[in-house]
Amino acid sequence: MMRTRPLKVALLGCGVVGSEVARIMTTHADDLAARIGAPVELAGVAVRRPDKVRGGVPAELITTDATALVKRGDIDVVVEVIGGIEPARTLITTAFEHGASVVSANKALLAQDGASLYAAAEQHGQDLYYEAAVAGAIPLIRPLRESLAGDKINRVMGIVNGTTNFILDKMDTSGAGYSEALDEATALGYAEADPTADVEAFDAAAKAAILAGIAFHTRVRLDDVYREGMTEVTAADFASAKEMGCTIKLLAICERAADGGSVTARVHPAMIPLSHPLASVREAYNAVFVEAEAAGQLMFYGPGAGGSPTASAVLGDVVAVCRNRLNEATGPGESAYTQLPVSSMGEVVTRYHISLDVADKPGVLAQVATVFAEHGVSIDTVRQQGKDGEASLVVVTHRAPDAALSGTVEALRKLDTVRGVASIMRVEGE
C-alpha cells in the first residue's frame, strides 16, 4: 500500500547534473512514487545564483542557504551535486547529523574522505550512495558493492573519464586539436568545473581509488593512485599507435598482486590494440572490465558523463535510499576489512612502447639493446627508420616491472647516441 506522507529530497547544486535530477524528479514523480511505495518530493534546492532561470524548479524551493536546508530535520535524502571538497563535505556530514541519508556524485570528495563519510553515515544510521560518482549512468558501484559481493575481484580496468575519451577519440578519428575537442566536451556538460581535473586525470584517479577500494575491500585514496594525464598525447603518438594496430586511451587499472598481498591502482594513457573492445569506446562513453574469480570477465558499458545520464544514476540511488528508509533499513556501508596495502607504480608489471631519436651509425642498436638487458627488460620488437644521419628507433618491450622500464628510459637518455626520447607509452590489453 502506498504511504501518503511524501519522502523529502533536498537538492544541493542545480548545475548540469542537478537541473536534470530536478527535471526527472518532477516529470516522473508518479512512477518514482509507485516504485518506492511513497511519494517523493523536492523539498528544497540550494543554489549559488538564485537569479538564474531554472525551468521546472518552483521559485519557492530555491535557497542560497544550503546549510539551513540540510539542517531542516524533515529531509529524508540530501542529493549533493555541488562538487569539490568544501562545502560539500560539511554539508554531507551535517545532513547525516540531522537525520538525512545522502546521495552524491562527488568522486573527488569520496576518493579523499570516503572513509570518514562512511563513518559519519554509520554513526547516524544513514545511507551513503554514490553510483553517479563513477562511470556516470553505468551501474557499476552497486554491482561491485552488492551483486559481486560473493565473488573475489582481481582486476578492474577501463575508461572512466568521458571528457578525455571524447578528446582522444576526436584527436584519433577527426584529427581535431586538443583545445577544440576540450571546448566541445565542456559545452556538452562532460567536463569538471575545472577541466584540469579531467585532462590531468585527477578525476579518473579519484574513480580508480573508489573502484579499487570497493573491489578489493580495502582503503585506497586519491594519493595512492599513480596518475598521468593526457595533455602530452600528440598526433605523433596516435600515428605510432596506428603503426602498431593500436589506439590510445586513458585507462584506469586496479589490480590485486599475484600473491594477493597488495593492490595497485593507476591511471595513464596507454596504447591498446584496435581489436580490444575498449578501442571502440567512442565519445564520452565509458567501459569497465571487471575480472572476478568465479564470474570471469564482465564488461560494463554506457554513457560516462553528461547531465541526463548522470541524473539517471543519482535517481536510482534516491529510489534505493527511499526504499531503505521505508523499510527502516540501510544499505551496505564501507567494506575495507582486508586492509591490503597499495603498492607503488614501480611494482606494476607492464609493457612500454618507446620511440627514440638516435644517431644512425654502427653499434647504436647494440648499445640501446644493452641498456634494456642491463635493466632486465626483454625487447619484443624493434623498428628502425633512417633519416639524414639520424634514425628513429621504436622499441616495444615484453612485460617488466615499471621501475625497470623507467630505469631503462633514464639510462637511454644518458647515451650520447640517443638524441632524444620522442615518446614513451605503456601498452595494455594484449
Ligand X SMILES: N[C@@H](CCO)C(=O)O
Total residues contacting Na ion by CB under 5 A comes to 5
Task: Tell me the DSSP string of 371-411.
Answer: HHHHTT--EEEEEEEEETTEEEEEEEE-SEEHHHHHHHHHH
Residues 188-227: x/- map of binding to ligand X (CB under 6 A)?
--xxx-----x----x------------------------
Write the CB contacts of 324 (distance below 8 Å, at least 6 apart in sequence): 101, 127, 330, 331
Residue 226: CB minimum distance to ligand X, A: 19
Distance CA 80, CA 106 (A): 8
Other C-beta atoms closer than 10 Å to the C-beta of 279 total 19
Identify the burial level of 64 via C-beta atoms within 10 angstroms of its C-beta, where 0-12 means exposed, 13-18 middle and 19 or more buried: exposed
Q: Given the rule CB under 5 A, which of 18-26, 77-85, 191-199, 305-313 is the region that contacts Na ion?
A: 305-313
From 34-42, 306-314, 371-379, 417-425, give the range in contact with Na ion by CB under 5 A.
Answer: 306-314
Catalytic residue among 207, 242, 249, 361: 207
Question: Among ligand NAD, ligand X, Na ion, none, what binds residue 198 when CB lies within 5 to 8 Å by partner kind?
Answer: ligand X
CB of 311 to ligand NAD, least distance (A): 9
207 is catalytic: yes
Q: Which does 163 bind (CB under 5 to 8 A by kind): Na ion, ligand NAD, ligand X, none?
A: ligand X
Residues near ligand NAD (CB under 6 A) = 12-18, 46-48, 66, 81-83, 87, 105-107, 132, 136, 189-190, 192-193, 305-306, 310
Integer Cα distance of 388 and 20 in angstroms: 59
Alpha-carbon distances, residue 374 vs 367, 380, 417 (angstroms): 11, 16, 17
Beta strands in 38-170 (DSSP E): 40-46, 62-63, 77-80, 101-104, 128-129, 153-159
| Closer to ligand X by Cβ: residue 39 or 303 | 303
Tell the residue number behind the cell numbers 548522470, with chain if given: 310
Instruction: Verify binding: residue 140, Na ion, rule CB under 5 A.
Output: yes
* CA distance linking residue 162 with residue 154, whole number of Å: 24
Considering only the stretches 74-82, 130-138, 232-240, 380-388, report the one whose residues sit in contact with Na ion under the rule CB under 5 A.
130-138
Under DSSP, the state recorded for 224 is: G
Q: Does 313 bind Na ion (CB under 5 A)?
A: yes
Q: Which residues are catalytic?
A: 207
Q: Which residues make up the interface to ligand X (CB under 6 A)?
A: 136, 161-163, 190-192, 198, 203, 304-305
